[in-house]
Amino acid sequence: MLSNSPGPIGIFDSGYGGLTILHGIRQLLPQYDYLYLGDNARAPYGPRSFDVVYEFTRQAVLRLFEMGCHLVILGCNTASAKALRTIQQNDLPKWDPTRRVLGIIRPTAEIIGDLTDSRHVGVLATEGTIKSESYNLEIQKLYPDIQVSGVACPFWVPLVEYNEADSPGADYFVKKRIDEIMRKDPDIDAIILGCTHYPLLMPKILKYLPTGVRVVSQGEYVAESLKSYLERHPQIEKRCAQGAGVHYLTTENPDKFKESARLFLHEDVEVENITLG
């Protein structure tokens, strides 16, 4: 039985990447309570099949609902690409049709029309997100004049998860994918970081990207979109508790989460271990 009292806004990611989304959201909407869940024990999701990403995400969202959330944001592009639609259409009506799950691909696609002059856009993301073609489909629906090129960056998530984002070794992998996407379409003037881990590689991304190409990282845009969503949906907003607190959950070792979360949040956090599945 799911509770009806106001609860925190849930933010889910396969691991640490969603912390960049949580950070952006808290900057703009600090008044709400948040419950962050990282499925670190089963990350990365990027190379996993549609069915597996769907099942893992479904378990996580249900747990966040059971823990009191009325609204859950999938702070993970891979989960947004592979699981969001099915959860919204098949699971939510059975669990509780008044609860909501939102993804982060649509809000990113919505703003891209304002951020490109050349109408050539690049997407860097995990293999799963690129293969799903979600960005191309969403952007084409909204802006049929924009040409989208995607490149998967398989080693970028482990570089971040293993705290190697600033190491000299990371240069090779970042340069390789930046060169690849700019070769694919030299007219690109805006690149979407379509994986929530990638903002941690920002210094190196900027180092290898030609000047004049804009980097679009999702945190601030997802936050703007959530703010507007809550304004347009007062019945959901009033069920989001306003205690300005954050609680963190991980399926991995909490000490490990704490250490890595510091890289993303620049502060120490209290973390609780949970088991999914």
Write out the binding residues. Answer: 13-14, 45-46, 77-78, 196-197
77 touching ligand DGL, by CB under 6 A: yes
Nearest distance, CB of residue 84 and ligand DGL, angstroms: 12
The DSSP line for 150-216 is EEE-TTHHHHHHTT-TTSHHHHHHHHHHHHHHHHH-TT--EEEE-STTGGGGHHHHHHHSPTTPEEE
Nearest distance, CB of residue 81 and ligand DGL, angstroms: 8
Non-local CB neighbours of 202 within 8 Å, separated by 6+ positions: 215, 217
Active site residue 69: no
Among 32, 45, 54, 65, binds ligand DGL (CB under 6 A): 45
Q: Which is nearer to ligand DGL, 12 or 32 (CB)?
A: 12
129 touching ligand DGL, by CB under 6 A: yes
CB 72 within 8 A of CB 92: no
Q: Which is nearer to ligand DGL, 7 or 103 (CB)?
A: 103
How far apart CA 116 and CA 122 sit, in angstroms, is 10
How far apart CA 168 and CA 165 sit, in angstroms, is 9
Among 105, 157, 209, 240, binds ligand DGL (CB under 6 A): 157
195 touching ligand DGL, by CB under 6 A: yes
How far apart CA 174 and CA 171 sit, in angstroms, is 5
**Catalytic (active-site) positions:** 76, 195
Tell me which residues touch ligand DGL (CB under 6 A). 13-15, 17, 43-46, 76-78, 126, 129, 157, 195-197
